[in-house]
Structure 1
Amino acid sequence: MQPPEAPAEGAREPLVTQAIAAEAAVWLALLHGPHRSRAMQRDCLAWQARSAAHRQAFERCTDTWQEVGGVSRARIQAAVAEPAHTGSLVGRPGRMALALATLCLAAVFAVMQWPGDTYGTGVGEQRLIVLADGSRMTLNTSTEVRVQLTKAKRAVTVKQGEALFEVAKDASRPFVVGVADAQVVATGTAFLVRSTPPQQEASAVFGVTLLEGQVIVQRNEGGAESALSTPIVMAPGDRLRVDRPSSKLRQSPAQARLDRPKLDQVLAWQRGVAIFDNTPLPEAIADLNRYNKVQITLADPAAMSPLRVSGSFRTGDNKAFAQAVATLFDLVVKQRDHGFELTPGPSETAPIPKEVETDR
C-alpha cells in the first residue's frame, strides 16, 4: 500500500486546522507504539487520503518528529506503507515512543506554520474556507474576517468585504458574526454579510441577506446607540441594510431597513458578474471598483449621480463597463494614472438618458 499522493505543484496551501494537526500527532504516536498493526496502517493511510490538509498535517508532524527523535519522514512514511515486523522503527520501547509522542504533540503547535484565525482575499479574488466545525465561508473580493472557535461559541468578525456563511448545525454553540456595531446570531443556516468601508461610495454601512434558516441581528452588547434598538429576526429572503447617517445629521444614528432583493442578483458575484437594477451610477462604480485595482471615477459625481444603471456586467473588467456607460450616457472616458475617468460628453445639446439597460 502506497502513501497518498502529494498535492499538485502550484496548488493553494491546504488549510490545516489545529484539530487535524492534533490527529496527525496522535497517528504518529500510535504508529510508534507497541500495538501497531496492519489495520492501523490502513486506517492512517485512509485518514491521510481524506484531504490535502490531512496529508499536509501528517507531513508537518513527521518533520517535527524528525527534529525531536532523529527519524526521517521517508522512514516514517515507509513504516506506514509497509507491513509491521519485529525490530522495525515501532519496535522501540513503548515508553520511549510515548515520550516522543508527547514531545511531538507539544512541538507541533509551536513549530507548525498555522494559517491563523484571520483569513482574507485580495482584489478580485474569491476563496472558500471550511472551518473545523464543518461550516463554510466563501469570501468575496477584498475581504478580511477573523475566526475564533471555542467550546461555547463560534465567533467570526467581518472586518471588511463580503462573505457567504453556510453554518454547520450545532444548537449548543451559536454561530455569531460581528459586523460594524452589530452581530448576527445563528445556529445552522446560510446568510450573506457585507461590510462597506467608510471611504467607499455606498449608502449602506453593512448588509445581511438571509438565504435559508433563521438569524437574529442585534446590537453588540455594550455598544453605543445604533439603528438596531431592538433585535431583528430575519426570515429567508430578507435583507437587512443599515444605512450611513447623513453627513448633515452626524448625531443621528444610522437607519436600518428591510427589503427582499432578488437573491440571484445578490449572489451574482459567485458567477463573476455584478447585476444592477436602477442603481445610481456612483454606487454601481463603487461596487465594480472592489474587483479591480484600475479604478473608475466621475469628474462630477454630484451632477452625474441622477444617472442610474440596470444590467449585468462582468466583474474585473472596468474598462468595458466605463466604455459601455460612456456610450449610453453620452460621456467621455479619459485615461488617468489611477484608471478611467468619466466626464460629460462634448455635445451639451445631446440628450443624456436617465437609465442604461445593457447586458455586458
Structure 2
Amino acid sequence: MPVPPPSTAADHPRDAAQWFARMQSGEATGQDRQAFDAWLSANPAHGREYQRLRFLWDATLLVPQERLRGMLAQNAPVEMPPRTGLSRRRFGAGLAAAGALATVAFGANSLLRSPAATLTVSTRRGERRQWTLPDGSEIHLNTDTLAQVRFFEDLRQVTLQHGEILFQVTADATRPFVVDTGLGQVIVTGTRFNVRREADALQVSVASGAVQLRSGHWWNRSERRLVAGQQLIADTAHGFGDIHNANVGDIIAWQRGKIIFHDMPLAQLVAEMNRYLPHPAKLAARQLGAQRISGVFSIDDPTAMINALPVIAPVRLVHLADGSVRITAQ
C-alpha cells in the first residue's frame, strides 16, 4: 500500500469549518492533531468557533432526514481546486461536512441567530426553585444547580452545567426540547423526567411519557429510549449503562422536600445528605459505609436530617469545630 506523503503547514486548515471537517473525517494524522492543538492555542476565539460548529453539527441530528436532504438539495455543489499534498477524497469529505454545517447554520434552522429567549437559572446548596418557561414548560431545580435555557424558533434547549432538574415539558412536536449535559443529550417533545448531572456521571429518570438519549459523535453515536418508570445512568468511563426499572416517585421526592431511601448503603446515604448540608459529614471508618439504611428525611432542615441518622443506624455523630460532622460506630 502506498504511503501518503507527510503533511506540511500548507496542508493544514486555517479556519474553524475546515478544521472541524478535517478532525471529524476519521483520517486526521498525528501531525494534524498537533497542528490542530497549535491552532486552538493561537487564539481563544478559535476554540469558541470550533465548539459552535460542534453544537451545529449535533443539531443537524435533530432535523428529520427528509428535511435535511431537502435543505442540502437546495444548495448547489461547490467546486474547489485541490490542495497540494491533500488527497481529493479527504478534501471532499471536508467540504461535505462543512457544507452540511453551513446549510443548517444558514438554512431553515438558523441556529446562528440569537435565541428568542435566554435564561440562566441556578440554586445554592440546600435551595430549590421553580421556573415556568416561555412555552409553559416547568423546570424544578434541586440543590446546587446551574443551567442555561435557550429558546429558538424550532428548538428548545437547556444546558445543564451541574445539579438536578425535574422537567415538565409542554408538548410541541414541531420544536424538540433538548437537555444537553455534556455526557449526553435528552431529547423529548413533551413529558416529565428528571436529569441529574455530576462531574463524571449522568442519571435520567422518566416519570411519564418517553425520552430519547444520545451520546457520542455522529460517527460513534449511542442511543437509548426510556419510558415511564425507567432510569439510565451514564458515566465518562463506560458511557450509557443498562436501562432499568426505578421508583421514579422516590427519586423525584426532593421536589416535595424529601429524600427517600430503601436499603441503601450508609456511604451512599451520607453522600446524598452532603448535597444539602452546609458542611460535609464524613464516615470515620470505611467499613461503616456498608451498612444498609432505609428511611425518609426532610431536606428542608439539613441539620435535623443528619441529627436523625443515629435513630435509624448504629452510629454516633461527632460535631467538629469547623461545622462538619464525623460519623462513628456506636
Cα displacement (A) at 1:295: 2.3
Q: Does 1:167 align with 2:169?
A: yes
Cα displacement (A) at 1:142: 1.0
Looking at structure 1, the residues matched to 233 and 153 of structure 2 have their Cα atoms a distance apart, in angstroms, of 31
Q: Deviations over 1:275-331 (max 9, x none)?
A: 01111112111112212213211122x222211211111114444344433354432
Looking at structure 2, the residues matched to 240 and 263 of structure 1 have their Cα atoms a distance apart, in angstroms, of 12
Which residue of structure 2 aligns with residue 330 of structure 1?
A: 314
Cα displacement (A) at 1:120: 0.4
Which residue of structure 2 aligns with residue 296 of structure 1?
A: 281
Which residue of structure 2 aligns with residue 129 of structure 1?
A: 131
Looking at structure 2, the residues matched to 183 and 238 of structure 1 have their Cα atoms a distance apart, in angstroms, of 17
Which residue of structure 2 aligns with residue 193 of structure 1?
A: 195
TM-score scaled by length of structure 2: 0.60
Pick from 245, 248, 251 the counterpart of residue 266 of structure 1: 251
Identity fraction in percent: 31
Query: Residue 182 and residue 271 in structure 1: after superposition, are their counterparts in 2 closer, same or farther (change >3 A)?
Result: same
Matches within 5 A, 1:94-243: 117-198=119-200, 205-221=201-217, 230-243=222-235
For 2:327, give the aligned amino acid: L
Looking at structure 2, the residues matched to 298 and 171 of structure 1 have their Cα atoms a distance apart, in angstroms, of 49
Structure 1, unmatched stretches of 5+, are: 1-114, 199-204, 246-252, 346-360
Pick from 251, 254, 269 the counterpart of residue 284 of structure 1: 269
Pick from 299, 303, 312 the counterpart of residue 315 of structure 1: 299
Structure 2, unmatched stretches of 5+, are: 1-116
Looking at structure 2, the residues matched to 132 and 270 of structure 1 have their Cα atoms a distance apart, in angstroms, of 21
Give the match's secondary structure for 2:150: strand
- Cα root mean square deviation, aligned: 2.2
TM-score scaled by length of structure 1: 0.55
Looking at structure 2, the residues matched to 293 and 222 of structure 1 have their Cα atoms a distance apart, in angstroms, of 42
Looking at structure 1, the residues matched to 135 and 216 of structure 2 have their Cα atoms a distance apart, in angstroms, of 24
Cα displacement (A) at 1:149: 0.8
Cα displacement (A) at 1:344: 2.6
Looking at structure 2, the residues matched to 314 and 299 of structure 1 have their Cα atoms a distance apart, in angstroms, of 24
Which residue of structure 2 aligns with residue 98 of structure 1?
A: none
Matches within 5 A, 1:46-65: none
Looking at structure 2, the residues matched to 238 and 327 of structure 1 have their Cα atoms a distance apart, in angstroms, of 32
Aligned residue-pair number = 213
Compare CA radii of gyration and give the structure with the larger one. 1
